[in-house]
Amino acid sequence: MSGTVTTIEEITLSSAKDGKITVATVEEPYGKNSESIASIGISLQGGTGEPDWKVHIPKANIDAVIAALQEAKKRL
């Protein structure tokens, strides 16, 4: 992945001692002129560099993902 990464927030991952959730934006993630995305990374241990899991969400899908996460929260 290329592009400029801007971290929005790092959140402590409740299920792992040193884990974190990182929310960021990435400009031109797939090369020149590619659409910017939101990136959510999950790290089970801090200081390991790259997250263990990562998801990229295009701007057009963010509202639907938020709604689905809110519904998932209700069902937990």
How does pLDDT run across 12-67, given as a tens digit for each residue? 999 888 899 999 999 999 999 999 999 999 999 876 678 999 999 999 999 999 99
| CA 42 to chain CA centroid, nearest Å | 7
Q: Say what the pTM is.
A: 0.87
**Mean of the pLDDT values across residues 67-71?**
98
pLDDT for the residue numbered 64: 98
pLDDT of residue 48: 67
In terms of Cβ atoms closer than 10 Å to its own Cβ (0-12, 13-18, 19+), residue 60 is exposed
Cα three-residue angle 30-35-41, rounded to 5 degrees: 65
